[in-house]
C-alpha cells in the first residue's frame, strides 16, 4: 500500500521520522572527521529546534530543516553510503515534504 500525501497525512509519522533522520545524520556530523563549516552551522540550527526564543521567535522543527536542506542531506548520506538514512529520507520526501 502506498500513502498519497496529498489526500491524507493520517498514519504518517512525519515528526517521528524526521527526528529519527536527524539522529542518523548526527552519526555523521558529530564526527569531526566528517563535519565541516556547513554542518557545524546546521548543528546550531538543530539545537534551536523547538526553542523560538533562541531563534528570533521562529519555531524550527526537524521536518522544516529536512525540507530546506534536502539536497545537502542526500549528499552526505550518499557520500557515506548510508542506505538506512537514504531510505528514510526518500520516505520523508515522498510522504511529508
| In a domain? residue 5 | no
Residue-wise burial string across 48-57, b where 16 or more C-beta atoms lie within 10 A, e elsewhere: bbeeeeeeee
Identify which of 95, 68, 96, 89 has the alpha carbon closest to the alpha carbon of residue 25.
Answer: 89
pLDDT exceeds 90 at position 4: no
Count of structural domains, the chain: 1
Q: Please give the residue range of the domain that contains residue 19.
A: 14-96
What is d(CA 15, CA 13) in angstroms, rounded to the nearest whole number?
6
Does residue 25 belong to any structural domain of this protein?
Answer: yes
pTM (predicted TM-score)? 0.86
| pLDDT score recorded for residue 7 | 54
Whether 8 is covered by a domain: the verdict is no
- Residue 5, C-alpha cell as written in the block: 500525501
- The per-residue pLDDT for 79 is 97
pLDDT in tens, 8-53: 667 789 999 999 999 999 999 999 999 999 999 999 999 999 888 8
User: Does 70 score more than 60 pLDDT?
Assistant: yes
| 40 located within any domain | yes
pLDDT of residue 90: 97
Residue 83 lies in a domain: yes
Give the pLDDT confidence score for residue 56 in this predicted structure: 83
pLDDT value of residue 97? 80
Amino acid at each position: 500500500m502506498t500513502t498519497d500525501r496529498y489526500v491524507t497525512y493520517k498514519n504518517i509519522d512525519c515528526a517521528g521520522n524526521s527526528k529519527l533522520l536527524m539522529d542518523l545524520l548526527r552519526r555523521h556530523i558529530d564526527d569531526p572527521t566528517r563535519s565541516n563549516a556547513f554542518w557545524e552551522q546546521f548543528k546550531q540550527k538543530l539545537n534551536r529546534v523547538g526553542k523560538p526564543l533562541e531563534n528570533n521567535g521562529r519555531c524550527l522543527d526537524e521536518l522544516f530543516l529536512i525540507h530546506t536542506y534536502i539536497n545537502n542531506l542526500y549528499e552526505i548520506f550518499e557520500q557515506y553510503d548510508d542506505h538506512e538514512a537514504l531510505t528514510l529520507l526518500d520516505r520523508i520526501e515522498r510522504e511529508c515534504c
